[in-house]
Structure 1
Amino acid sequence: MIVTVTILALASLLFISGIIRPDLVAVSALILLMLFGILTPDEALSGFSSPIVMMMIGLFVVGGGIFQTGLAKQVSRRLLKLAGTNETTLLIMVMVVTAAFGTTVSNTGTVAVLMPIVVSLATSARINPGRLLMPLAFASSFGGTLTLIGTPPNLVIQETLVSAGYGKLSFFSFTPIGLVGFMVGLVSLLFLRRFLPRNETGKKTRSGRSPGELARKYQLSDNLFRAKVGATSSVASRTLSELNISARFEVNIIEIRRKTSARNQFLKTIDQEIAGPATVLEEGDILYIHGTFDQVRRVTKEYGLILLDHQVPEDRQPAGAEQYATAKIGIAEVMLTPGSNLIGKLVEQSGFREKYRVNILGIQRKDRLLLHNLKGEKMLFGDALLVQGTWKDIALLSAEQADYVVIGQPAEESRRVTMDNKAPIAAGIMLLMVVLLVTELIPAVVSVMIAAVLMVLLGCVRTMEDAYKTINWESIILIGGMLPMSTAIAKTGAAELLSNSLASSLGSYGPVVLLAGVYVTTSVLTLFISNTACAVLLAPIALNAAAQLGVSPYPFMFAVSIGASMCFASPFSTPPNALVMSAGRYTFGDYIKVGLPLQVVMGIVMVLVLPLFFPF
């Protein structure tokens, strides 16, 4: 027992100091427990096969799908319309929505669904995500105390009461005391948020401009129009070289999008391709034409195309980068080198389209933007060329350093562009996961794994490699390494000795003092063992202690349930705390500074309020 407590204390000190990475500390603690014979290898490694760890892996992939499809951005944009960009308003909204969600969905599932949305929300509002993610995790715990099914400890105390001959608790038995806890937590976090990470200023995360910034710089939204190939159009079944549209009308057909129908209509997608001389146009194709409005109108009239953008540029709403940059196709800026062989050549002689299958959309020459009639334009030293092509082809340009240099990192930018056409699929998968978690038709871990696999199979996560990249392995190792610690504590009798000693020693001082002892004991033990295991251990002890005093067991049982759920002072005490750790860039010290005071405040309030709702 002494060795176990010593290892736990040493690990806690290292977590707080931050001298060694948390995941390395967790694995080192496991090794020591095995070397001293406290845990067998099977017991020590059992945490990595735990349903909690597998669920976290699946949830990271689900979150990645929500991000990569742009679903998080779309939802956060709507939430911003409701709450604005004020940090206080956003924090309140995030906590209210999370707590409401957590009344029926597990706190881990709640955080997994909402975390990518909150990160996108914070980014859009120019707020450090760390200002909202810890409140998100804590609010999920508050939500679990609002209903009977909100969190496992609630069901544990009901089972203990029923086994002892007491009546069942109703679905809303927890709601009054849970609402008090939520309000206290919300107000406390409004004061404690001063210890959360602040916005980082003056740091440039990457060189080069994003697709959105490039689109604005080159005024692309004013020069891009869409035209559809109708049933009566004369361009159907003809190649672009045969039509020679670019030369005749001084416009560029830069991209073609067409529907690709699978047998399953659910999998219908939009296929995109860069327009080349050999491209054959088909009925229903959407042509993206770059040029002035008058020129584009002449093209559509000549060939019987259906112009989808009917207004003149001055009246059009800026389309942004989404018309030019998608998950498959992107834009980038290219600078000519001093000794480039392209200097003095015409754009049509550059070979960009023939060699690299990319189009030149614009040229920045000092303070001027050249956007039209580019084929006959000579390229000069110092010119910046805006090119469009597939991200793969743009990346090939980066390998060529003799004549030009690609500014920025195309591969990195391609991962930032969302697959908006997949957003409805991601929403459907997320809804399916929520329904399965709420109805509990199958185990929660199975529900999450199904959702994760569907995200990959249906293309919401680009590749399996991208799915692996969405997983934060530091958090997985941390939780997997610390879960067996509860086995060591229980195996050596340390937890039972502590709980029995406190209950027996405080019983003589009256029910209020005993209630405080039960709550504090539960709250402390939950830092080191799971809240469910903590409730299972302490519920019978609290029940027997109440019987010995001849008082109602209800306030003591609720103290166990709520104390087991309100655990905020450690990142590995609950899966939600661990899930937000990497995304919020938190240290162990952040949980101590914010979570520990919150946990203390909650304890004081609960000890005072519980007897009012459940008299002795």
Structure 2
Amino acid sequence: MYEQIILTGIMLALVGCLFGTRLNPAWLFVGAIGTGYLTGLIELEEMLANYANPSLITLILLILVSIAIEKTTLVQGLAQSLAKGSLSKSVMKLGLSTAFLSSFTNNTAVVASLISAIKDSPTHSPSKLLLPLSYTAILGGTLTLIGTSTNLIVNGFAVEAGMQPLGFFDFTLVGLGALSVGLITIIVLLKYLPDHGKQDQEVVPFYLEGKVEAGSKLIGRTVEENGLRDLKDLFLAEIIHGDRRICAVTPQQVIQQGDILLFVGDIKSVPLLQRFDGLKIVHDKHEKDVEHLVEVVISQSSRFVGKTVKEVRFREQVHAAVIAIRRGHDRLQGGLGQVRLQAGDSLILAPGSEFYQLPNLKREFVYISGLDLQTHLKSKKSNLVLAGFVAVIGLSIFDVVPLVKGLLVFLIALFAMGAVKVTELKRRFPIELLAIVGSAIGLAKLMIDTGLASQISDALFYLLGDFGPYGAFIAIFVMTVIFTELITNNAAAALSFPVAFALAIGFDVSPLPFVMAVAFGASASFISPFGYQTNLMVYSAGNYRIKDYVTVGLPLSIIYSITVLTLIPLVFPF
């Protein structure tokens, strides 16, 4: 009883922080399992053993191996073929190819590899392709055991709970059904996606900052007198005066020396601000040519994620000054230096001469206007990489060599042949994923071992008993879908699995359909740009609004859910 009370407090605190704060989930999960150790719920050796779970090690190796796969001619060929054909054909081709790649390698890497090619497509608007790219990458990940981190994590939970390991293609029948109806739904709903074409470009809400310098003619005059109210495609949103922020700026507001003026609007209107005497737009030691600005999109592996421009000394690190930031259509507050950067943010930079020579550009950004950030392998080496990967998967499927062993040998071979480098392995090593999943496995096991999961399932059994196992199965799926939209897919799986497993035991039925409900539910992130990494990556790149995700993602989520809830009990009977 004592253990259940302590663990309940830990889990409530974890869930509350996941939903109610912006703290890094990795720190929260590590803190939760660490508290379990400090309070005597788990021994140190047992806690550390969870971070060496075979499914987790397999996942990490897959992510590292995908560094080489995304450089191959397979990905290059897909990128080059996207511009051919009508929009529907392009989306169908893009969807099937992305789903296939995502079923065998990291879907985040697939999306990152294709963003640049899609943004530079001469035929179709990127806003018509990028969201389908993310959605089909998610759907493709449900096809195999290794297609998404969620499937491998759920497999790890299942093994720890005493179940047989899930097979490589156990997910495939249900996944194919979900992909088929999902792709058809996406194509039908294409007309509802915005069309930000080159000839019909809507005002892009970039966030710009200007500083009133000493001697400026703006000083001592009102906003209206300075003509700052009637700028084409620009809106003066805020003024920062010392420590004071002035929102809802009135025409009578007097401009003073040192004021920071924050504008929202079209980046093409930057030259308009140059005409105002003493209003410095680019904070740098040298004047920059605004006609040679570049747009970049922050990578999920960037060291800038979670930090402000000021904290990372962006200008010194990248040899470029940030003059504008966009995060979808979100309104940002405070000065540019105080904006905490996120993966998917679009930045407008005034680059110095050394910017293009930096070796770490492709680590920090998934897209730079006018540049191809992909390192491509030569044809012979590319074929060797693909053949080696297919061999590893084949040997695993036929139980000749365990997948984790095959991937480890393959990774060593990739390193030996120069397909991946030590710096790339360091940069792409998923330390946060390791922290979240290793901790989550320990917490899930604690919930089962202490009987807390049984207590929760008993309460749910009381509520859902009249609906039978199928009603409880639906409830677990819906709960997991809600979790994955509000927090992260991996956290959703970690919170739902112990309850799902205990419910199956309570109904005295096979736990497999409940396990599959958690796996497919945790991958059902279509309604929010923040629930899944690939959705966030295309958010600003496609100039989407949250309503675009809801318009297309909500019908897709409903149809996906109906399909999955119908197919799982047929493939995995209770």
TM-score normalised by structure 2 residue count: 0.50
TM-score normalised by structure 1 residue count: 0.47
Larger radius of gyration between Structure 1 and Structure 2: 1
